[in-house]
Structure 1
Amino acid sequence: MDRIGRIASQKAVVIFSKSSCCMCHAIKRLFYEQGVSPAIFELDQDSKGKEIEWALMRLGCNPSVPAVFIGGKFVGAANTVMTLHLSGNLKKMLRDAGAIWL
């Protein structure tokens, strides 16, 4: 859990992902299209990926990926991020976190 906190605070937007996950790909693409350059941690390519995945599930992320952190705070998985995007609240969160300027 401490490692997740450290990683999540390294950049304005952090995404825990798996390289083979189609929803992870869609969420990463959404952030790129918003002009965000997130830090991405591919759990299936990390030696401690399984441990991180279990910790993400304990945080309430189910499924465990994609898990999105903005401004060091856990936002949620794909459904939550898409809801924020469609409501217009994602851009505000990104601006407040310093991930985008406009």
Structure 2
Amino acid sequence: MSAAKTRAQNLIDENGVMVFSKSYCPYCTSTKKLLKEVGATYEVIELDQDAEGAAIQDALQEMTNQRSVPNIFISQKHIGGNSDLQAIKGKLPALIQAAGPKA
């Protein structure tokens, strides 16, 4: 397993809500805004600002068949991107509560 894939998996495992993002992406901004609105505690990696960002994005594509960002995980389950998150908006508070803080 590559170092980037291991790092991505560890981040997913260690955080109830994990978002792989890019700082300039409007869909990522929308995702982070929604998570804040529902009071979620979440971890974000801005792939465009991380030294391993490109490798992590490649690893996520291998793991999820999704290359685009945001790439969202709740309770270690792959949710998908922003449109997937928006589609389950009503269920988010329960999912977030179930995820709980991992720290």
Fold match (TM-score > 0.5) = yes
Deviation, 1:60, is 1.8
Residues 12-58 of structure 1 deviation map (CA, whole Å, 9 limit, x = unaligned): 11110000100000100100111112111000111110011112222
Task: Report what 1:12 is aligned to.
Answer: 16
User: What are the superposed Cα offsets for residues 68-101 of structure 1, whole Å, 9 maximum, x if unpaired?
Assistant: 111122211111111111xx222221121125xx
After the TM superposition, which segments of 4 or more aligned residues of structure 1 sit over 6 Å from their partners?
none
Aligned mate of 2:44, from 36, 40, 53: 40
Q: Could you tell me which residue of structure 1 aligns to residue 99 of structure 2? A: 97
Contact 1:14/1:70, CA 8 A, preserved across alignment: yes
May I ask how many residue pairs the two structures share in their alignment? 96
Gaps of 5+ in 2: none
Task: Give the 5 Å matches for 1:61-80.
Answer: 61-63=66-68, 65-80=69-84
3-state SS in 2 of match to 1:68 = strand
TM-score of the pair, normalised by structure 1: 0.85
Under a length normalisation based on structure 2, what TM-score does the superposition of the two structures give? Answer: 0.85
Structure 1 spans left out of the alignment, 5+ residues: none
1:2 deviates by 2.2
